[in-house]
Amino acid sequence: MQNAKDTFYEVLRSRLVALNAERTIVLRGVLRPGVLVEENELLSEVARPDCFRLRWSTAEVNGEGAMPLATLNCSIDYETAGTTMNGGMDRGRALASMDAELQGAANTSPRNALKMNYSGLANGAAAVAMQTSVWWGEVAFGDTVTKDDRLARIATVQLMSYQEAGEL
Amino acid sequence: MGELLQSSDGAIRLADAAMRSGGGRMVLLRLAIPAVPNNDAEQLGLATPGFQDVALGPATFHKANSVTKLLVSASAVHEVLGSLGFDSANVLFETAVGLFFDGLLYKITNSYSSQAIGVPYCYWLTLEPPTR
């Protein structure tokens, strides 16, 4: 399942960057695209604004077929206070921009990608292409929630992949 | 005393002196060492993070009910901001891993400043002790 999660993140990140390269964050002192996987980062009490935060929730494996089919649910949290120059009056527009970027990145065809194994990166090796793919459903957008001076939303998407032999 | 409070610098010195005389101590602010830029391993949780501890002081504790707050000298915070290149104290405390003292790492859940003439003279940090 880890390879499916990593692959989905990489695909989503590259698509989001293609749509809006200016959405960036500084995390651990480094400028990077405005999307992160919460479980891959240091624990933080702060909900970072103006970026997409992926959180993996439920997972299910159906072993009835020739290969086990893994289904993973991903929550994508994002929130914005708008821009300071506008006194936050554009926070609705800023949230709509983020909605559009996520819609464009995740709901655009193809909603699949060749699964990659990134574990070698830890030792300086390259990512390795696997035999199967990952694919995902349409992103479902939740209600707009007001959090103090910010507008927030949680979108959810379901990711599926066959588990290959020996795969984590 | 009145003249001392006429400038924001005076308020900072006054706060420092009050904290020192009130048993102020040093604490360590734990920060993550900058990650490697454009590195997928960093973003996929495959890298090992490094940490650095920065001394902050004088600092005094304030405990009311079950809430632990730490009052930190603004001069110490501003020194760290300048040397490490942070935009603001808020960013510094939001990106910090926690505060380390007496062998325990406390999470920083909130921060705000007390100000004189628009300039902070001390910072209040709300802390959450580690779960045992």
Domain range annotation of chain B: 4-128
Indicate yes or no: CB of B49 within 8 angstroms of CB of A28: yes
* pLDDT given at position A4: 96
pLDDT in tens, B29-69: 999 998 888 889 999 999 888 999 999 989 998 887 778 89
Indicate yes or no: CB of B107 within 8 angstroms of CB of A45: yes
**Complex prediction ipTM:** 0.86
Confidence of residue B8 (pLDDT cuts 50, 70, 90): low
| β-pair type (A35-37, A52-62) | parallel
* pLDDT given at position A32: 92
Main-chain phi, psi angles of B28, to 5 degrees: -110, 125
Q: What is the mean pLDDT of residues A49-56?
A: 96
Indicate yes or no: CB of B34 within 8 angstroms of CB of A31: no
Main-chain phi, psi angles of B40, to 5 degrees: -60, -35
Q: Does A53 reach chain B within 8 Å, measured CB to CB?
A: no
* pLDDT given at position B3: 55
Confidence of residue A14 (pLDDT cuts 50, 70, 90): very high
- Using an 8 Å CB-CB cutoff, list chain A residues near B38: 32
- Using an 8 Å CB-CB cutoff, list chain B residues near A46: 94
- Using an 8 Å CB-CB cutoff, list chain A residues near B43: 9, 13, 32, 36-37, 40
Locate A87 and state its tokens.
Answer: 């006194």
CA B81, CA B89: separation in Å to the nearest integer?
7
What is the CATH number for A100?
A: 3.30.2000.30
* Contact (Cβ atoms closer than 8 angstroms) between residue A149 and residue A62: no
pLDDT in tens, A104-144: 999 999 999 999 999 999 888 999 999 999 999 999 999 99
Cα–Cα nearest to B36, from A56, A124, A10: A124
* pLDDT given at position A13: 97
A1 pLDDT more than 70: yes
Indicate yes or no: CB of A44 within 8 angstroms of CB of B94: yes
Q: What is the mean pLDDT of residues A8-13?
A: 97
For residues A96 and B101, the model is more confident at: A96
Q: Does A143 reach chain B within 8 Å, measured CB to CB?
A: no
Residue A79 domain boundaries: 2-162
Q: Does A121 reach chain B within 8 Å, measured CB to CB?
A: yes
CA B130, CA B99: separation in Å to the nearest integer?
11
* pLDDT given at position A80: 97
CA B40, CA A6: separation in Å to the nearest integer?
10
Please tell me whether the overall predicted TM-score, pTM, comes out greater than 0.90 for this model: no
Mean pLDDT of chain B: 87
Q: B9: helix, coil or strand? A: helix
Tell whether A168 is covered by a domain.
no
Indicate yes or no: CB of B43 within 8 angstroms of CB of A32: yes
Number of domains in chain A: 1
* pLDDT given at position A34: 96
Q: Could you tell me which chain A residue has the CA closest to the CA of B39?
A: A121
- B38, B46, B109 member nearest A121 (Cβ): B46
Confidence of residue B99 (pLDDT cuts 50, 70, 90): very high
Q: Does A149 reach chain B within 8 Å, measured CB to CB?
A: no
